[in-house]
Amino acid sequence: MDGKPLSGAVVFFHPKTADGFQGAMGVTDDSGKYVLETFLGEGKTKKGAIPGRYDVTVSRMAKPDGTPIKYDPKAPPMSDPMAKEQVPMKYSSKNDFGLYYEVPPGGGKYDIEFSSTE
């Protein structure tokens, strides 16, 4: 974000078609890199993303002091009422989908860049 790596952000790939899977997600490390895992249903996952077209969202929740809240897939959404989204709604909301990507056969790399003021 703003030309710098954003650590602790959750990157979701939402499939544009319903092919029996729920999409893929990954969490960025300190260098801003992430590895996707695909949700196959019934608690099963697979490394990488299935080829296809995706809407992409990025979310990074933080405490009021700016400390990022570590993503926990078992915790209820917004389990910290004081948490604040640090990524502009254009990129973090499922309703806005400001990012898109088509995963080619064999996979690929998708660097996500955006501004905090958008």
In a domain? residue 116: no
Q: How many CB atoms lie within 10 A of CB 92?
A: 20
Count the domains in the chain. 1
Segment 97-108 mean pLDDT: 84
Residues 6+ positions from 10 with CB-CB distance below 8 Å: 25, 26, 27, 28, 58, 59, 60, 71
Does residue 118 have a pLDDT over 80? no
In a domain? residue 28: yes
pLDDT band at 35 (very low <50, low <70, confident <90, very high): very high
Alpha helices in 1-118 (DSSP H): 89-92
- Pairing status of strand 44-47 against strand 37-41: antiparallel
In a domain? residue 111: no
3-state secondary structure of 12: strand
Domain encompassing residue 15: 10-103
pLDDT in tens, 73-94: 666 555 667 788 888 888 888 7
CA 27 – CA 50 distance, rounded (Å): 18
In a domain? residue 64: yes
**Statement: the pTM of the whole predicted model exceeds 0.75:** yes
In a domain? residue 110: no
